[in-house]
Every structure is written in C-alpha cells, then in structure tokens.
C-alpha cells in the first residue's frame, strides 16, 4: 500500500489519460473491441512495470533491513549489501558508501590521537617511576627520621595511583600488554600480599591465605594488579582491633573461584551495586580516606577483558567479600 501511495500521482495521471483516450475514441465512433483492446494494452503497459519495480525494490529493502538487524556493527551495512540496479537504491547505496568512508577517516584520526596519548601516558608513567624508586631507596637508607612511616605510605599510595594510570591507559588496548596463559594462582596471591606486607604489618591486620596449588588461565600481571587494588581497599577500610583479611580459593567443575574477604567497615546496601562504576567513591570513600573511584572500576573492566567474573557481597559494619571467577572451558582445560 505504501508503494502505491508513493505512485499515487503517476497512477492518477495514467487513469486520467486512459479515460480521456477512451472518451476520445468513443466520440470518434471507434469500435468497442478496439477500445477494449487499447484499454487492456494501456493497463498492461502501466501495471507490469509497476509490479516488476515493486518486486525489485521489495527484495532489496527486505534484504537490507534483515542484514542491518543481524549486524552488531551497523556501520558495516554498506560493505555487506550489493549495489542495486534501480536509481533510488543506487543513490542510497552510494550515500552509505560515502558516509561510511567519512566515518572511517574520522575513526582513524581519533584512533591515532588516542594512540599518541596512550604512548605519552605510558612514557610518563615509566619516567615518574624513577624518582619514586629513588625516593623509596633514600627513605629505606635513612636512619628512621620522624615521619618516615607516613612518607613510606604516601610513596606506596603514589605508586598505586601511577599504576592505576598505566593500566587505565592500556585497558582499551590490552592486546599490547595482555596474554592469557597458565598461571599458578597461589603465587599470584602471594606476590600481591608481599606488595602490601608493610601496610598489613603497620596496621596490625591478620592476613591469611592458605591456598592449594591451582592452575588457572589468566594474565598474571593483570590479576596481580587487580588483587593489589582489592587488598589495598581491604586494608584501607579495616579499622578494627581484630582486623583480618582472608583469601581462599575453591575449584569447581567449571571454574575456580578466588575470594578475598575482610571484616572491615563494609559497604552500605544501597551502594553495593555501584562500586564497580567509574568514579564512584561511595560514602566510605568520601568520609574516611580520599578515593579516586577508579580502582574497582579498573578491576571490573580488566576482569571483563580477561573473561573472568567479579562479584561483591558486603554487610555494613561487618565486612566485604570480593570473588573472582576463572572459568574453565574446552579452550582452557587444565
């Protein structure tokens, strides 16, 4: 019906022309058979091209819409459809091609700018690590001057923030620094624990990580960063006299689940579902210690890139548990 409405002017004009010619034949006393024959020929010449054109357009647009719906990346539609042989379709096809080309040029421009920015950030991070390392070395060789402990914690916090910057810059292009392979989960956990040993001892937090030898498929460096962020948060929000952090691992038929639990201040129920949001600090982060809201966001983002699951459960005033799930599949059977 829509097609006929588009052709309404054409059909009305042809109908008027047909009536006019038949009337003229009638006035000229042309035989009835001739008038009927002429009318049939005229109608055939009008209807047959319409039907052919309709079928051609219908086939093209149905295929076009079906293909568009099936594509995840809609911008590829111009590459998937064939150029039609009717004028209206040709105009649409050429417009899509031109638009797609312009879009790809814009993407290349912004990709180049992003790559240059990422390279600059990585260079800056590596450069700033040198004075941080020098400062820590000087601090360790000093004879315990007043404020050394506080300065040491500040340096650790600075190192953590610098590492966050580096991993954030790489999180959108992990192929440059990302490789899934067999890794010993216990060794990764112990490495993260050693990085936080001074803070654990300084705050007198009981740390327990009795883990069996479990092999998982992951990127050890990325998981160590994730565990470091989680441990850092657990330490930051553990202010009880009997503070403790316990890490356990459970091997299931289809997965390995690593759990990091503490008995700290916990998270309000209304905020639990938002802790992996970018920039979300929550009420604890605002009133207790400064927080960027980026640590757990990066943990969730990197777990997604690695194909791991991450989840949180917490009770305000009692503690928090964060679990990381390492799936097993036909691709990663150990």
pLDDT number for residue 278:
86
Residue 199 pLDDT: 84
The b/e string for 286-321 (b: 16+ C-beta within 10 A; e otherwise) is eeeeebebbbbbbbbbbbebbebebebebebeebbb
Per-residue pLDDT 10s for the chain (334 aa) are 676 677 677 778 777 777 787 787 777 777 778 777 877 887 888 778 778 887 888 888 888 888 888 877 777 777 777 788 777 778 888 888 888 888 888 888 888 887 777 777 777 877 787 777 777 777 777 766 655 566 766 777 777 778 777 777 777 664 556 688 899 999 999 999 998 888 888 888 999 988 888 999 998 989 999 999 999 889 888 878 889 999 999 998 889 999 999 998 889 988 888 999 888 887 776 665 566 778 899 899 989 988 899 999 999 888 999 999 999 864 444 4
Q: How far apart are CA 284 and CA 237, in angstroms?
A: 8
User: What's the pLDDT at 116?
Assistant: 78
CA atoms within 13 A on the CB side of 105: 6
pLDDT at residue 333, rounded to an integer: 45
Three-class DSSP category at 111: helix
Sketch out the chain's domains with CATH numbers. Answer: 1-102 (no CATH), 177-327 (3.30.565.10)
Whether this prediction's pTM lies above 0.85 is answered by no
- Listed residue (250, 152, 268) closest to 210, CA to CA: 250
Please tell me the predicted confidence (pLDDT) of residue 16.
79
Contact in structure between 247 and 209 (CB atoms under 8 Å): yes
Q: Would you state the structure tokens that stand for residue 20, as one six-digit string?
A: 């006019």
């Amino acid at each position: 019906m829509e097609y006929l409405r588009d052709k309404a002017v054409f059909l009305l004009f042809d109908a008027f022309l047909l009536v006019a010619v038949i009337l003229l034949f009638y006035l000229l006393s042309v035989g009835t058979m001739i008038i009927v024959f002429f009318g049939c020929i005229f109608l055939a010449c009008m209807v047959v091209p319409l039907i052919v054109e309709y079928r051609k357009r219908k086939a093209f647009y149905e295929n076009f819409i079906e293909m568009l719906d099936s594509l995840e990346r809609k911008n590829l539609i111009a590459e998937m459809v064939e150029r039609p042989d009717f004028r209206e379709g040709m105009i649409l096809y050429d417009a899509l091609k031109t638009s797609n080309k312009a879009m790809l040029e814009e993407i290349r421009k912004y990709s180049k700018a992003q790559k240059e920015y990422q390279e600059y950030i990585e260079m800056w991070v590596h450069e700033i690590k040198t004075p941080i390392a020098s400062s820590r070395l000087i601090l360790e060789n000093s004879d315990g001057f007043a404020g050394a402990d506080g300065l040491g914690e500040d340096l650790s916090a600075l190192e953590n923030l610098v590492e966050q910057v580096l991993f954030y810059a790489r999180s959108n292009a992990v192929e440059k620094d990302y490789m899934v392979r067999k890794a010993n989960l216990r060794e990764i956990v112990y490495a993260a624990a050693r990085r936080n040993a001074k803070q654990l001892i300084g705050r007198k937090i009981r740390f327990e990580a009795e883990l069996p030898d479990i092999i998982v498929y992951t990127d050890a460096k990325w998981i160590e960063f994730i565990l470091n962020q989680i441990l850092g948060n657990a330490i930051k929000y553990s202010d009880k006299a009997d503070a403790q952090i316990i890490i356990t691992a459970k091997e299931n038929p289809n997965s390995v689940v690593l759990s990091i639990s503490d008995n700290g201040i916990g998270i309000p129920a209304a905020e639990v579902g938002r802790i992996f949001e970018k920039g979300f600090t929550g009420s604890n982060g605002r009133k207790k210690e400064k927080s960027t809201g980026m640590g757990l966001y990066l943990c969730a983002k990197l777990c997604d890139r690695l194909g791991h699951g991450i989840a949180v459960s917490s009770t305000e005033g009692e503690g928090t548990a964060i679990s990381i799930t390492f799936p097993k599949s036909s691709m990663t059977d150990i």
